[in-house]
Amino acid sequence: MNSFSIQGKLIDLFQRRIYPAEIKIKDGIIVSISEAASAPDQYILPGFIDAHIHIESSMLVPTSFAQLAVIHGTVATVSDPHEIANVCGIEGVQYMIDNSKHSPFKFFFGAPSCVPATGFETAGATLDAAAVETLLKNPDIWYLSEMMNYPGVLHNDAEVMTKIAAAKKAGKPVDGHAPGLRGKDAATYANAGISTDHECFTLEEALEKVALGMHILIREGSAARNYEALSELLRLHPDKVMFCSDDKHPDELLLHHINGLVKRSLEKGYNLYDVLRAACVNPVLHYKIPAGLLRVNDPADFIVIDNLSDFTVQQTYINGNLVASKGMTMLPHVSITPVNNFKADKKEVADFKIIAKTDSPEIRVIEAIEGQLTTNCLQLKGKVADGCLVSDISRDVLKIVVVNRYSNDAPVAVGFIKNFGLKTGALASTVAHDCHNIVAVGVDDESMCAAINELIFYKGGIAIAGNKDEVYCLPLAVAGLMSADSGATVANAYTVFNKRAKELGTTLQAPFMTLSFMALLVIPSLKLSDKGLFDGNKFEFTSVEV
């Protein structure tokens, strides 16, 4: 690798000052930083790091994700391959690692701690304590991914505690996932050795967990958006804060990433160094990852911006290589061979019917909440037609179903949901956290059946059944989660899909992302798995009719 130097106004996050400097790089390493009398009118700072993300949720394999992320100054991610692990097990985790090595981008993967997340749903694989311990011995695994089985921690479950112990033995951090956990339960959770949480949705909850020694990851994804509630942590506890996306769809990734949170924070008046500490420094220090922070002997991972107001990324360097310039990626598309696990057969309209027990039933309805993963449980009067419970478009109470993708003959689980707003047609997806069965919402059984059968034909993807029997599908050949295409190709295709979904009436900002979380049982309060309607507060199944 050749040697070169770059000049500009260096934003030194350790000395907390800006000064004209010349940085010399040799073989991808910073060999010297010299203060200069003057410098070009540009700023140089460390690259951004997403402190918690499921790459799979971008619908892109790692190499394609990197193509888009570097445009926005992101040089590394702390990545939980939990999604593909639920579909393909350890083979899926290794697939992500292997693909990532075809890119200079720095992916730091964790060992998924909860596969499956619960025993109340069907996954494609199981990672027991022995499998997790094996993964943690892998030098390409940097931490134990989010411990979402917080009831297991609170009740000292042997399997859960063995996984945490294995991470401690390996000297690797343990990530948390404990939405709404407070008081003694939060203390028990933190004292088990769990060091982060990205599920806080109030400042009070976050402050309580900071007091327990935990780091708080401020999440702003495509569905869950907690920045406004938590941003004050940047002023109160800048040493305990990181930024993360958790789940980011490709259309948003095309527009912005961690850079968007940086700019937003500066516009709110937060201190430049505190904001950049969260965006750049804290993830490196906490996870002990080899990403550069603009120090001598660090890897040459840095970005160049035009000014401190617009904060527009002009160039991104990783290991001294220019990987993005003026909004264009320098990273090539990498051809891949997909992996998958899909056994579901074509469905019939009759599979989605649910017989009413009375003529005037009261039903439990999932209330989706814009910008949150949590839901509410409503009790509403159900609409009955021909003896069956059906969608009630006038009240925006629509049928939602989950189909087991790993079996040919499992029955379809049926429930009802509010706030999707569809006036016609249906949406369906094999991106359905955490087990990634097929989830669909629609105004009628025929539309849902058409969308679901399109996904079954392609063995995964997202689908829309619209007017005039039109069915559209964006195939996701890799585990039913990710496309084999380039980042820009998938992002543009998804943008079209999102627009088509909204033409059916939904007002949700990210309807497919919201839909994907309606099967996420570990987030309260009411969700639907392939085995039935689930009460996330009581952690048990419940009935559709009250």
Could you read off the pLDDT of 233-280 as tens digits, one per residue? 999 999 999 999 999 999 999 999 999 999 999 999 999 999 999 999
Average pLDDT, the chain: 96
Cα radius of gyration (the chain): 23
1 touches 14 (CB < 8 A): no
What CA–CA distance (Å, rounded) separates 297 from 280?
17
49-103: pLDDT as tens digits: 999 999 999 999 999 999 999 999 999 999 999 999 999 999 999 999 999 999 9
Tokens of 495: 């943008």
What CA–CA distance (Å, rounded) separates 104 from 317?
10
pLDDT value of position 1: 57
497-520: pLDDT as tens digits: 999 999 999 999 989 999 999 999
145 touches 198 (CB < 8 A): no
121-160: pLDDT as tens digits: 999 999 999 999 999 999 999 999 999 999 999 999 999 9
Task: Give how many domains the chain has, as a whole number.
Answer: 2
Residue 355 lies in a domain: yes
Write the CATH number for 143.
3.20.20.140
Distant-in-sequence, close-in-space partners of 93: CB < 8 Å, separation ≥ 6? 81, 84, 85, 109, 111, 112, 135
Instruction: Sheet containing 241-244: give its strands across.
Output: 196-197, 215-219, 241-244
The closest of 437, 439, 497, 507 to 471, measured between CA atoms, is 497
Residue 489 lies in a domain: yes
Task: Tell whether the model's pLDDT for residue 344 goes beyond 70.
Answer: yes
191 touches 160 (CB < 8 A): no
Instruction: Sheet containing 438-442: give its strands across.
Output: 375-381, 362-368, 413-418, 397-403, 438-442, 426-429, 461-465, 471-475
pLDDT band at 372 (very low <50, low <70, confident <90, very high): confident
Residue 192 lies in a domain: yes
Estimate to the nearest angstrom the gap between the alpha carbon of 330 and the chain centroid.
Answer: 25
The fraction of the chain above a pLDDT of 90, given in percent, is: 95
User: Of 245, 271, 291, at which residue does a domain stop?
Assistant: 291
Please tell me whether residues 75 and 198 are part of one structural domain.
yes
Residue 38 lies in a domain: no
User: Of 291, 318, 337, at which residue does a domain stop?
Assistant: 291
65-74: pLDDT as tens digits: 999 999 999 9
Residue 165 lies in a domain: yes
Task: Tell whether the model's pLDDT for residue 190 goes beyond 70.
Answer: yes
The per-residue DSSP string of 185-232 comes to: HHHHHHHTT--EES---SHHHHHHHHHTT-EEEEEB-SS-B-HHHHTT
449 touches 441 (CB < 8 A): no
Residue 83 lies in a domain: yes
382 touches 389 (CB < 8 A): yes
Query: Could you list the residue range(s) of the whole structural domain that residue 431 is in?
Result: 349-541
Task: Tell whether the model's pLDDT for residue 232 goes beyond 80.
Answer: yes
Tokens of 57: 């949720």
pLDDT value of position 223: 80
467 touches 424 (CB < 8 A): yes
217 touches 197 (CB < 8 A): yes
Please tell me whether residues 125 and 232 are part of one structural domain.
yes
Please tell me whether residues 156 and 275 are part of one structural domain.
yes
What CA–CA distance (Å, rounded) separates 431 from 434?
8
The per-residue DSSP string of 279-305 comes to: IIIHHHHHHT-----S-TTSB--EEEE
Please tell me whether residues 357 and 453 are part of one structural domain.
yes
The closest of 63, 483, 80 to 247, measured between CA atoms, is 80
pLDDT value of position 117: 87
Residue 353 lies in a domain: yes
The closest of 341, 342, 336, 340 to 457, measured between CA atoms, is 342
What CA–CA distance (Å, rounded) separates 191 from 201?
21
Residue 504 lies in a domain: yes
14 Rama class: left (phi>0) / alpha (psi -120 to 50) / beta: alpha
What CA–CA distance (Å, rounded) separates 422 from 419?
9
Please tell me whether residues 259 and 361 are part of one structural domain.
no
